[in-house]
Chain A
Amino acid sequence: MKLWRNNNAQQVVREGIPVIFPRIWRYSLTLTGTPERADDLAQAAVLRALEKAGKFEIGTRLDRWMFRIAHNLWVSEIRKNTVRAGGGLVAIEEADIISPEPGPEAVAINREVMMAVLHLPEAQRSTVVLVYVEGYSYRDAAMILDIPLGTVMSRLATARATLGQKFREEGQARDAR
């Protein structure tokens, strides 16, 4: 019966990928910093998921499983090349990510908010995106990142303190204009 189960899991993974792909790409971008590198990571995650599909347990969350695959790929294989290419850092530049067209004030604020998150150190950035953008619980985020629950909490506490201060300062600057 193992083969039957594997084939079913294959099908579940294959059918689920198109639905989950945009989120995997978005998370890949927050890790890699450019759309092109996000394409590479998301593609590699899709291929790895198809390859390991027989190990997916039907009834558990496919999205969480795929996020974990993407994160593992980034940590174990892709980050070192990206970091080497960037001279030690994965720099995230706004111009690489979104077009510089001016928009309404609300869009401008959203850009500031998103870039503030993307400029957090990688450990905080990935945790913030998983919890506040992707909506994962602390426990799910700990599982995806393969870190203790307490580490998720401390990363979020540090990130919230940084972001809170930044948003308040920018809000005051806007109010003053």
Chain B
Amino acid sequence: MQDRYFTDEELVAYLDGEDDLAPVADIAQAAETDAALGARIAALTVDTARIAASFDLLKADERPMPKLPEPALRAPKFQIAGMALAASVALAIGIGIGAYSSGQRTQGWVDYVAAYQALYSNSTLAHIDQAETAKQAELDRVTAAIGKSVGVGTLQTLPEVEYKRAQVLSFNGRALIQLAFLTSTGEPVALCIIRSNVADTPDPALSEMEGLSAARWARDGYDYLLIGGNDAALIDRIATEFSTAQI
């Protein structure tokens, strides 16, 4: 009864050709004479090629890939310039390009958010039903990530939108928060906020991104993007309300 020396894990590793994880030669030899071991191996045998082939049914190759956000311009020029020029000149160029690339990075986060929001549907949010205290606790935790404090009441002043949840995301290592809403017609809308050093532009600027209505404004060291649905007038109303409330 040699088979008691081989665990099921070893037999499976043997079957899968993971030779360094099982005493392959010993198992093969024992299986020739030990019927009980042979039966155990048979019980663990499955057609793994068939399993692999069966997943072709999912037709994963036909699934459309989301459009990748455009890459933000980086600052390799700063490296080259820094090596080629005298330190003072390099510093000046560095500051200039640094300011430029900082603007590009700011633009970059908006593209990411838009691409992410384009995948939201009603069912992404419809099931979320949190009590007021839970909403506030979540909001406290999330807004703290960017050094803000937002009362759940200030997000619920408009009858057209229901506040659903808050999440901390990250862009290039910087915290980015997303406050998610559903409109009365069931469209998902998100308010995203990131710390920024751009100049204040408290009047929301409307645009369309990824086929969604969007509004953007900046205030007191934060950059805001409200995005979702196709009702530009609604997005404008919500954005104006939120900007005025200095969320």
Asked if A157 meets B9 with Cβ closer than 8 Å, knowing A133-B51, A135-B52, the reply is yes
State whether the Cβ of A29 lies closer than 8 Å to any Cβ in chain B. yes
Chain B residues in 8 Å Cβ range of A131: 16
Q: Is the CB of A113 within 8 A of B79?
A: no
Chain A residues in 8 Å Cβ range of B68: 14, 17, 46, 50
Per-residue A-contact encoding for B48-63, CB less than 8 Å = 1, 0 else: 1011111111101101
Which residues of chain A (155-176) have a CB below 8 Å from chain B?
A: 156-157, 160-161, 163-165, 167
In the bound complex, how far is the Cα of B9 from the Cα of A177, in angstroms?
A: 35
Asked if A22 meets B60 with Cβ closer than 8 Å, knowing A51-B171, A128-B51, A157-B12, the reply is yes
Per-residue B-contact encoding for A17-44, CB less than 8 Å = 1, 0 else: 1100111011001000001100110111
In the bound complex, how far is the Cα of B124 from the Cα of A42, in angstroms?
A: 15
Q: Is the CB of B57 within 8 A of A98?
A: yes
State whether the Cβ of B26 lies closer than 8 Å to any Cβ in chain A. no
Chain A residues in 8 Å Cβ range of B13: 138, 153
In the bound complex, how far is the Cα of B74 from the Cα of A3, in angstroms?
A: 8
Q: Is the CB of A36 within 8 A of B121?
A: yes
Contact-size category for A: 35 or more
Minimum CB–CB distance for A61 against chain B, Å: 18
Q: Is the CB of B57 within 8 A of A164?
A: no
Partner of B8, one of A4, A36, A157: A157
Q: Is the CB of A51 within 8 A of B170?
A: yes
Chain A residues in 8 Å Cβ range of B69: 47, 50
Partner of A163, one of B46, B58, B128: B46
A-B contact count (CB 8 A): 140
Question: Which one of B28-36, B111-119, B229-237 contacts A?
Answer: B111-119
In the bound complex, how far is the Cα of B63 from the Cα of A164, in angstroms?
A: 31
In the bound complex, how far is the Cα of B52 from the Cα of A133, in angstroms?
A: 4
In the bound complex, how far is the Cα of B88 from the Cα of A24, in angstroms?
A: 48
Q: Is the CB of A22 within 8 A of B79?
A: no
Q: Is the CB of B21 within 8 A of A117?
A: no
In the bound complex, how far is the Cα of B52 from the Cα of A117, in angstroms?
A: 10
Minimum CB–CB distance for A51 against chain B, Å: 6
Partner of B52, one of A40, A81, A132, A165: A132
Partner of A160, one of B44, B66, B76, B128: B44
State whether the Cβ of A126 lies closer than 8 Å to any Cβ in chain B. no
Asked if A107 meets B57 with Cβ closer than 8 Å, knowing A14-B71, A132-B48, A135-B52, the reply is yes
State whether the Cβ of A10 lies closer than 8 Å to any Cβ in chain B. yes
Chain B residues in 8 Å Cβ range of A165: 43
A-B contact pairs, 26 of them (CB 8 A): A3-B75, A3-B76, A3-B78, A4-B76, A4-B79, A7-B76, A17-B65, A17-B68, A21-B65, A26-B55, A43-B116, A46-B65, A46-B68, A50-B112, A98-B57, A113-B51, A114-B51, A114-B57, A138-B21, A153-B21, A157-B7, A157-B9, A157-B44, A160-B15, A160-B45, A160-B46
6 shortest interchain CB distances as A-B pairs? A153-B9, A114-B54, A157-B8, A22-B60, A26-B60, A110-B54
Q: Give the interface of B toward A (CB within 8 A).
A: 7-13, 15-16, 18, 21, 42-48, 50-58, 60-61, 63, 65-66, 68-69, 71, 74-76, 78-79, 112, 115-116, 119, 121, 123-124, 127-128, 167, 170-172
